Amino acid sequence: MTDKTSNQMWGGRFAAGPDAIMEAINASIGFDQRMAAQDIAGSRAHAAMLAATGVITDNDAEAIREGLLTVLSEIESGSFQFSTALEDIHMNVEARLKEIIGEPAGRLHTGRSRNDQVATDFKLWVRDQFDAAEKGLLALIKALVDQAEAGADWVMPGFTHLQTAQPVTWGHHMMAYVEMFGRDLSRVRDARKRMNESPLGSAALAGTSFPIDREMTAKALGFDRPTANSLDAVSDRDFALEFLSVASICAMHLSRFAEELVIWSSAQFRFVTLSDRFSTGSSIMPQKKNPDAAELIRAKVGRIFGANTALMMVMKGLPLAYSKDMQEDKEQVFDAADNWMLALAAMEGMVKDMTGNRESLAAAAGSGFSTATDLADWMVRVLKVPFRDAHHVTGALVAMAEGRGVDLPDLSLEDMKSVHEGITEDIFTVLGVENSVNSRMSYGGTAPAQVRAQVARWKEILG
């Protein structure tokens, strides 16, 4: 006789229930209850298919359908009692269904297993998150395009090695991030498309002898098609790993921009002013306005990439097909998804609200000999001097200006001529930062006209 405390779902061959520690390590209901809606959607599709194929009666299917809706409303209203003894969301839902509708509940699990069930539920959950990420990215891209349009011709320093390199435009800098988040968007869409195959009906690992219709359940759940190999379908977590790696790359982009905002909002730079809505104060230093949102966004990449690494490690040694190790997939993905969505929304809010300080940007753009390359280019173009020689002459002029504590345009024509005979008055037309950026008309360059062309292209993409 079976011990009363043994599991009601699979207790047939067990004489005793689990040790408390076993229950604690085994249960996933504490976190997989987040997939309740997906679990019930999967069960509804499965039951309807079982009736359509004649595996169960229409009456049983109807009872199951109604019972599942009751369970869903109990979960949504918060009245559902989750039980750790029932291990996971799948068994919690099924046990409650049995309490509500009795015997027909026992027919729901025909031709399926928790292995294809959990793969299906998790895919549906991750798919929703890809959709949420797509929305978040589109909103962020739009905010950046708006910033770029407003400041298409604002000059600022462009950096390499965080040393002033050449003047660029604010719009150009904003559009650089549009390109990055645009690639993230295309990765999201790509991965979503690839993962959209239904594992349901793969059963435990080998498929089933029941005459099920996997096309039907796939379609009902919005999948493009059923998966083609049952062993793979129940043990594949590529979709979760792709989600985490796409999220990691995007979080890295968010972090780079966050880092720039931290630097730019400092008293030393003053390139941007962040809004009060996205800053915090200090409890001791009254003058402070801290870019906490940017700092936290910068930090998120750590946990998101950590989740990616953790799941990689969980999966790398698993023989086919399902192993319980795979239950460790969910918390990582849940946490990464929550934090990715939050970081996207916070970045969008910050970008929408921030003010580029046009004067500070322009003042910084002119410092640091940022138009030295323009001077060298002018000598090449007008005097036909080889670039290497022009580079040398310009270096000497920079040294002269530096020695006097002035900028390149402050040197006189005589100063210039003392280093290279051929230089004429015309040189001063290229030394200003406005001239410099306006001249960078190569496709994808920083000239305001190029920036506006990219803004127009993105506006069309965004619709």
Give the catalytic positions in this structure: 161, 282
Looking at the Cβ atoms of 175 and 326, the one nearer to ligand ARG is 326
Looking at the Cβ atoms of 145 and 234, the one nearer to ligand ARG is 234
Token pair recorded at residue 416: 């210039």
**Please, what is the minimum distance in Å from the beta carbon of residue 16 to ligand ARG?**
18
Beta bridge partner(s), residue 197: 225
Residue 9 in 3-state DSSP?
coil
**Please, what is the minimum distance in Å from the beta carbon of residue 226 to ligand ARG?**
19
**Please, what is the minimum distance in Å from the beta carbon of residue 200 to ligand ARG?**
13
- 8-state DSSP, 311: H
Helices vs. strands in the chain: H and E counts, helices first: 19, 6
Token pair recorded at residue 15: 């004489």
**Please, what is the minimum distance in Å from the beta carbon of residue 315 to ligand ARG?**
12
- 8-state DSSP, 290: B
**Please, what is the minimum distance in Å from the beta carbon of residue 97 to ligand ARG?**
17
Q: How many residues comprise the chain?
A: 463
Looking at the Cβ atoms of 86 and 390, the one nearer to ligand ARG is 86
Looking at the Cβ atoms of 227 and 327, the one nearer to ligand ARG is 327
**Token pair 């005589």 is at which residue?**
414
Looking at the Cβ atoms of 28 and 255, the one nearer to ligand ARG is 28
Amino acid at site 32: D
CA 127 to CA 121: how far, in whole Å? 10
Which positions lie near ligand ARG, rule CB under 6 A? 28, 32, 88, 114-115, 118, 322, 324, 326-327
Residue 298 host element (H or E): helix 292-315
CA 91 to CA 373: how far, in whole Å? 69
Cα separations in angstroms, 102 against 67, 87, 261: 10, 20, 60
CA 98 to CA 145: how far, in whole Å? 54
**Please, what is the minimum distance in Å from the beta carbon of residue 28 to ligand ARG?**
4
Residue 166 host element (H or E): strand 163-169
Q: Are 411 and 393 in contact (CB under 8 A)?
A: no
Q: Are 436 and 362 in contact (CB under 8 A)?
A: no
Give the residue from 226, 193, 224, 238 showing the smallest Cα distance to 46: 226
Looking at the Cβ atoms of 82 and 269, the one nearer to ligand ARG is 82
**Please, what is the minimum distance in Å from the beta carbon of residue 113 to ligand ARG?**
7
Cα separations in angstroms, 296 against 256, 262, 303, 385: 12, 11, 11, 50
Looking at the Cβ atoms of 243 and 271, the one nearer to ligand ARG is 243
**Before 321, cis peptide (omega within 30)?**
yes
